[in-house]
Amino acid sequence: MASTETLYLDRLLDPVTRCFTTSVARQIVDLRADPAVQARLEELAEKCTEGQLSPEESTEYRTYVLAIDMIAFSRQKRARSLAAILIPDE
């Protein structure tokens, strides 16, 4: 993700990720896609690589990728904040 996008997401998601308890953060880290969703994502990824996505599939694929990026960013952000609490700057 580009640094400008990261900055925007950081600002947008900061209030959300501050609400994460340790339990919620662990659940997000352990979050996995439903097998049917994972299979569909893999199908769309393959079609994208081959340049064969329809406009509707392209929208669906971009939506999945955006959601995955937001979940990953939330995981990273929470991990950084936990690390700051557990290992404060000296």
17-42 pLDDT, tens digit each: 778 777 777 777 777 888 999 999 99
CA distance 43 to 12: 31
The domain tally of the chain equals 1
* CA nearest neighbour of 25 among 67, 70, 76: 76
pLDDT in tens, 1-21: 557 877 887 788 788 777 877
Domain limits for position 82: 3-86
Average pLDDT of the residues of the chain = 81
Residue 71 · residue 28 · CB < 8 Å: yes
Confidence class for position 63, pLDDT limits 50, 70, 90: very high
pLDDT at residue 67 tops 80:
yes
Q: Is the pTM of this model over 0.75?
A: no
The answer for 51, left when phi > 0, alpha when psi is -120 to 50, beta otherwise, is left
Report CA-CA distances (Å) from 17 to 54, 74, 77, 78: 35, 6, 7, 6
